[in-house]
Chains A and B, each alone.
Chain A
């Protein structure tokens, strides 16, 4: 394992204002927070974040795991940017911030008189990352999009399904893909600023970013060869066999791919089908693709008698790429992840249970799980009074009866 000697966290000293809502842009800010930036989530009391759910009673909005995860390591500040006094507080923060991230529809910040030009007047080195469904120019710039819109319209969904004639199926992770790409945008602009002292305004279209980050080769191949891709289910366009096979137990499965002739020979041996190893009809991936159904039936006959874990150990020992289909609960208990100390309890409240770790590790110290997503307005006092030096009378009031959610009308 990589030995860690702690330095300051990579993004310590960077201040981020998170105007994001839903999932993609908040994920961007979460990445920055995990790696040491001070991230202030701006919350709008009349429309609480989607991840806070649709309920107000008993502060249910402070109890959502989705919010605890996607907004972890952040601070919560409630501001109504239409209220001049509270907008002024936001502008004071812009003056001492490095990055602002937002995913409102193009034009919304301008209507609040908080567009890039205004932010740049306040702070010439500010980096504004604007994420939107379709980008800030073009005939559809004002259109709305959730993951379900973007996955369909980008062409990504046309490639996933049980077969060419089956209905399309979703991967559903467009928000995370785009959230990661948003972080790439923020960090790219930060590296550029480090050598030039210039701020930047990033225009990220989530339709473009998801296509770039998932199907670039498919798009290039369509343009070159003129053939639209179609869903292959669990099969591989070249290798065979590849598939998902049932194992002992309820809804337990393993997947495998045979990539070479040597691996095919090894699989035949495991299946107890030594005769196939030398049979001309099964030599080469191309001939096996033609007999895929027949081969699958034999693999199922073998996997059905075994635990997924045992079968995968045997396949891996034989040199074949294979693994169990892991459920969320399998992942929580996974020995490999535990030995790598993947899961993290919040350092500031270790009794609050475990969270996901980090997407990578740096030897000089990387991500840190300090705290779960904050209670609504938990840092109003710290930011408005202590950081900005305002009087307590400037603190926004949080009145339960005036709160609204993103799920209204519920």
Chain B
């Protein structure tokens, strides 16, 4: 394995400051790309102000959302509203392969950083614009938070129980989904640019991106005019749900179907293996009976035992893990899914996830997040050749 990442030849200029853009550049950074993150002087990226915080104390260098998303990036400060910012930014645009931004639509043009202007500086540039609802359309200026994005991309109408309100998730799923798509968009455009020498502009609408999450239900609505609604977690197949166990919940996932005979033998109830319960339609027809019988059988057993027994019989059982339990998973330990970051001056060493997937050539970087403006001297001075006096003056004038 090489110490250089798969993408170590890529240079990225990151003007984004929310979750989607930052997860996109976190993936690029993890695989070795060089990321220069441009932050507003003194205030920093919006992420620095969002929790959770280290030891629950807010502070510019303490947001764990920022730490998670900013490892292995360099930070420079630059006030894009100041005219002089352009002379500093221009050489960085000229050498970048990919540029990301997530301002409200129209804002980037107001900053004179629209695609036409940037294309003029660097015709090979791949520019990714991320926004809530896209660069056009009647709702392009709508404000959104995660719950709004989840509600407006269909997922929320399907989550939760009948007779209760639709339910938000405990994650930032819409924004993370858009982050992965921004990563894909940037790389396939880069791939094409390597062949035809032309950069391009990409419009990532978080709403459209998150519609992928409901692709089957939405296709069924388009094709069959078929409605879908939230139904607790009643899966069409039986059993396929979390059941209370002695110490939490076991995930009783009764597939693959061909393994029912060997898997369900663990329950020691011969009729579960005979007609009508030996077929999937038979079990669906006796949904409530199966559910109440399994619940009674499982309530006194530890969830991990149920998990291993079901898996030994070939069924895809699991258990509901708390975050604490996730850290004790022997599988995660064996694969070193959690890694320490480099020491950070304010919060020390944190624990971060290893790669989302493993290559046979190169690993994933688990470096730390940068301090606000930590790389000003390196980038503006060493790299662009500005003198210490000029940098001090730029700082004094509030440009950097």
A binds B: yes
Q: How far is the CB of B256 from chain A (nearest CB, A)?
A: 7
Q: Could you tell me how many residues of chain A have their Cβ less than 8 Å away from some Cβ of chain B? A: 153
CB distance from A309 to the nearest CB of B (A): 11
Interchain CB contact under 8 A, A191 and B6: yes
Size category of the B interface is 35 or more
Contact flags B151-180 to A (C-beta < 8 A → 1, else 0): 111111111110011111111110011101
Alpha-carbon distance between A335 and B133 when the two chains are bound, in angstroms: 12
Nearest chain B CB to A368 CB, angstrom units: 13
User: A358, B208: Cβ atoms under 8 Å?
Assistant: yes
Shortest C-beta distance, B226 to chain A (Å), equals 8
Chain B residue at smallest Cβ distance from A254? B151
Return chain A residues, CB-CB under 8 Å to B161: 162, 169
Total contacts A to B, CB within 8 angstroms?
A: 494
List of B residues within 8 angstroms of A362 by Cβ: 185, 188-189, 200-202
B169 near A353 with CB under 8 A, answer: no
**Which residues of B75-109 are within 8 A (CB) of A?**
none
- Contact (Cβ within 8 A) A255 B334: no
Task: Mark A178-203 against chain B: 1 for CB-CB distance below 8 A, else 0.
Answer: 00111111011111101100101111
What are the residues of chain A within 8 A of B307 when measuring CB–CB?
A: 153
Roughly how many angstroms separate A205 CA and B278 CA in the complex, as a whole number?
A: 31
Residues on B with C-beta less than 8 A from A410 are 257, 279-281
Task: Give Cα A242–Cα B156 distance, bound, in whole angstroms.
Answer: 15
Q: Cβ of A342 < 8 Å from any Cβ of B?
A: yes
Contact A195 to B184, CB < 8 A, known contacts A331-B154, A331-B218: no
Closest CB in chain A relative to B329 CB, distance in Å = 8
| Chain B at the A interface: SS class | mixed
In the docked arrangement, what's the CA distance between A191 and B181, Å?
16
Given contacts A181-B180, A188-B31, contact A169 B232 (CB under 8 A): yes
A191 & B177 in contact (Cβ 8 Å cutoff) = no
Contact A184 to B357, CB < 8 A, known contacts A225-B54, A360-B185: yes
Within the complex, the shortest CB–CB distance from B109 to chain A, in Å, comes to 13
Verify A329–B221 contact, CB threshold 8 A.
Answer: yes
With A184-B180, A257-B147, A327-B157 known as contacts, the answer to whether A202 contacts B202 (CB < 8 A) is no
- Interface 1/0s, chain B 125-165, versus A by CB < 8 A? 00000000111111100111101110111111111110011
Give 19 pairs: A residue, B residue, CB < 8 Å, sorted on A: A137-B335, A152-B318, A155-B323, A157-B320, A177-B177, A184-B356, A188-B6, A205-B337, A205-B357, A212-B353, A219-B323, A219-B351, A224-B347, A321-B144, A323-B152, A340-B134, A356-B211, A364-B192, A409-B278
For the complex of A and B, 4 pairs with smallest distance between CB atoms: A159-B170, A223-B351, A328-B221, A149-B318
